[in-house]
Amino acid sequence: MTIFVTGGAGFIGSNFILDWLGQSGEPVVNIDNLTYAGNLQSLSSIENHPGYHFVQTDIANQNTISQLLIQHRPRAIINFAAESHVDRSIHGPASFIQTNVLGTFSLLECVRDYWNTLAGTDKSNFRFLHISTDEVYGSLLPEEPAFTESSCYRPNSPYSASKAASDHLVRAWHHTYGLPVLTTNCGNNYGPRQFPEKLIPLVILNALAGMPLPIYGDGLQIRDWLYVGDHCAAIATVLDKGIPGQTYNIGGGNEKTNLDVVQAICDVLDEIRPRAGGQSYHRQIAFVADRPGHDRRYAINGTKIAQELGWHPQETFTTGLQKTIQWYLNNSDWVQGVQNGSYRDWMALHYGHH
């Protein structure tokens, strides 16, 4: 048996592939077109693993995707491929519509054709697992209950609107064509191998470089933080036990303001990497103009996945953050490759890609 992972060179996809090959040994085909967010250096440790196969293509490339499906006959597809950064979606929404909406549509069509060629248990056991976000539910007031799977869709940014659209397509391909789909909606992930445009790695690396630690607006926006290893375990659980047509919210149970998060990073760094002069990292915190349309609060109610599938996060925010900071301290080659852009040269050297 084989599974396909799209977007496997990104943050969550690369963590998922590493965990998957470490735990199950079932072969993985990683399909990624290597945007700025795709970094094969994150997967260098499994480059020669017999169960790992990389193909550089766009999820919207129907010819190649259809050929790969016929060639490898996967039992499941996990769709991580997306444009994922809210700020980028504000400045240039087109690529978000292209990949998240049209790309998902195109992929669903290829998968539907392939699935229709299957028979018996190959057909009934097949799964298309779509990875999505809690941002599709919009913003919560402080007193409102956390998002459940039946919360209304109220996306506010071009990113969340494009993800919401993709969730609707996935749902419709189940109800209309019977495709056995699963959708997961999770909170903000953090952990190793995250591109440093996102809050936690940005703050860790800016802190170490003596640069300002930017906080949007008053810093009191609340997010529900999920350690990426916990997310990957939840995805494997949903793939294994989830009911086709259902969606599952995945939360870490860690509602934190952005200011809390930045201060927690400063606390850990003050302890494990104190500055020579004894000056605290907290002094680098700098408030900057808020993001337009910035959602105030996201929070996940994770009761369904806990009760129905028995999944619970293993990390607290404190343990997950310590692991994350330690990873960035221990992996300066990866960090430098991303910061000076040489991760793209590395890919050209190893894979002949540009």
CA-based torsion, 228, 242, 240, 306: positive or negative = positive
Which candidate in 58, 83, 135, 230 is catalytic? Answer: 135
CB of 343 to ligand NAD, least distance (A): 11
| Binding of residue 11 to ligand NAD (CB under 6 A) | yes
Among 185, 295, 176, smallest CA distance to 238 is for: 185
| Binding of residue 183 to ligand NAD (CB under 6 A) | no
CB of 225 to ligand NAD, least distance (A): 9
Which one of residues 10, 138, 201, 337 is an interface residue with ligand NAD (CB under 6 A)?
Answer: 10
- Give the chain's radius of gyration (CA, Å): 20
| Binding of residue 181 to ligand NAD (CB under 6 A) | no
CB of 292 to ligand NAD, least distance (A): 20
| Binding of residue 103 to ligand NAD (CB under 6 A) | yes
CB of 58 to ligand NAD, least distance (A): 4
d(CA 354, CA 351): 9
CB within 8 Å of 319: residues ≥ 6 apart: none
Tokens read off for 347: 């890919």
Which one of residues 164, 186, 238, 300 is an interface residue with ligand NAD (CB under 6 A)?
Answer: 186
Which one of residues 4, 20, 52, 80 is an interface residue with ligand NAD (CB under 6 A)?
Answer: 80
| Binding of residue 12 to ligand NAD (CB under 6 A) | yes
| Binding of residue 58 to ligand NAD (CB under 6 A) | yes
| Binding of residue 146 to ligand NAD (CB under 6 A) | no
| Binding of residue 81 to ligand NAD (CB under 6 A) | yes
CB of 64 to ligand NAD, least distance (A): 10
Using left for φ > 0, alpha for ψ between -120 and 50, and beta otherwise, residue 253 falls in left
108 touches 133 (CB < 8 A): no
d(CA 225, CA 255): 6
**Count, residues near ligand NAD per rule CB under 6 A:** 31
Task: Select the span of 11-19, 86-94, 169-177, 297-305 touching ligand NAD (CB under 6 A).
Answer: 11-19
238 touches 297 (CB < 8 A): no
CB within 8 Å of 119: residues ≥ 6 apart: none
Helices of type H across the chain: 11-23, 62-72, 86-91, 94-96, 104-117, 120-125, 158-177, 199-208, 228-241, 258-272, 303-309, 317-330, 332-339, 342-351
| Binding of residue 229 to ligand NAD (CB under 6 A) | no
Name the strands in the sheet holding 255-257, side by side, starting at the edge strand that comes first in the sequence. 188-190, 222-227, 255-257
159 part of the active site: yes
144 part of the active site: no
Which one of residues 13, 27, 191, 320 is an interface residue with ligand NAD (CB under 6 A)?
Answer: 13
Which candidate in 159, 190, 281, 328 is catalytic? Answer: 159
Q: Phi then psi for 156, rounded to 5 degrees? A: -115, -20
Residue closest to ligand NAD (Cβ):
10
| Binding of residue 225 to ligand NAD (CB under 6 A) | no
Angle at 317 between CA 238 and CA 263, to 5 degrees: 145
| Binding of residue 43 to ligand NAD (CB under 6 A) | no
Of 102 and 118, which CB lies nearer to ligand NAD in the complex structure? 102
135 part of the active site: yes
Of 39 and 263, which CB lies nearer to ligand NAD in the complex structure? 39
b (16+ CB within 10 A) / e for 241-260: ebeeebbbbbbbbbbbbbbb
Q: Phi then psi for 124, rounded to 5 degrees? A: -75, -25
Active site amino acids: 134-135, 159
Footprint of ligand NAD on this chain (CB under 6 A)? Answer: 6-7, 9-13, 32-35, 37-38, 58-60, 80-84, 99, 103, 131-133, 163, 186, 188-189, 195
